[in-house]
Amino acid sequence: MVHRFRAFLLALQFLTRIPVPQRAEISDKELGHSVVWYPLVGIVIGIVLVGVRVLSMDNDAALQAALILTVWVLITGALHLDGLADSADAWLGGHGDRERTLKILKDPLSGPAALVIVTVVLILKFASLEDLAQSFPMWPALLVIPMLARAAAVALFLTTPYVRTEGIGAAHAEHLPHAGGVIAVVLSLLVTLLFLGWRGIWVIIAVAVAGFLLWTLMHRRIGGTTGDTAGALIEVTEVSSLVVLALVS
């Protein structure tokens, strides 16, 4: 039986740069069960962002947005932005070929597509955060959006084969408990509606549309997902949620 708290710590260690106790040996089953706790890790990230918002409330909205975005990137170690960058390069440079796309996904170097897409995503996040700082109680959004984006990653692993047979990502996907993953996704949707009210419906729609589009691209090009494309999904769902929430607020 997998200890729930250890599984949560593994998820926290994998998705953030928050210091957690290191363990010498980790089983594949524990890695799979840690995926269930991804949305809770999103809430932890959100709590940190709310703290930044509280500490900077007396400052200009643009400075608040810049500080929140900076901490958001730092606390995740830019892990998901790296996945987004690799995915952008692979889709542009893969020219529709599966094996070439997978090869580029493993390349640590970034090309022009990576730089452009990361820049666009960060600009959109900054502008949305600045708008929300002036037009909407910000703390519910900061709590919910990181959680919902990571719930989207759980849904991705539940519905999409992992295309690589080696590596830590393969263990995450293969040993994810289906029932626990479904519960994590459903609870995340309910929390979104609880904290955001009717606006939460629009946010969920944005995440669903963005997630479905990326899911389709992954299936058509590589027949599944990788750790990089899962990271890209998290970034795209986060920015989609922020933009839509800013628009409806």
Whether 27 maps to a domain, the answer reads no
Q: What is the pLDDT of residues 50-96, one digit of tens each?
A: 999 999 999 999 999 999 999 999 999 999 999 999 999 999 988 88
From residue 188, alpha-carbon distances to 83, 116, 166 in Å are 23, 31, 30
Tell me if residue 225 falls in helix, strand or coil.
Answer: strand
Residue-by-residue DSSP string for 154-183: HHHHHHS-BS-SSSHHHHHHHT--HHHHHH
Is 205 among the domain residues? yes
Q: Is 77 left (phi over 0), alpha (psi -120 to 50) or beta?
A: left
Provide the residue range defining the domain that includes 231: 4-19+38-248
Contacts with 193 (C-beta within 8 Å, 6 or more apart), sequence order:
200, 201, 204
32: in domain: no
Residue 134 belongs to a domain = yes
Query: Does residue 179 sit within a domain?
Result: yes
Residue 26 resides in a domain: no
**pLDDT truncated to tens, each residue of the chain (249 aa)?**
457 888 999 999 999 999 988 776 788 888 899 999 999 999 999 999 999 999 999 999 999 999 999 999 999 999 999 999 999 999 998 888 999 999 998 887 788 899 999 999 999 999 999 999 998 789 999 999 999 999 999 999 999 999 987 766 788 888 899 999 999 999 999 999 999 999 999 999 999 999 999 999 999 999 999 999 999 999 999 999 999 999 998
The answer to whether 237 and 156 are in contact (CB under 8 A) is no
In a domain, 197, yes or no: yes
Q: Is residue 24 part of a domain?
A: no
Report the domain count for the chain. 1
C-beta of residue 28 within 8 angstroms of C-beta of residue 171: yes
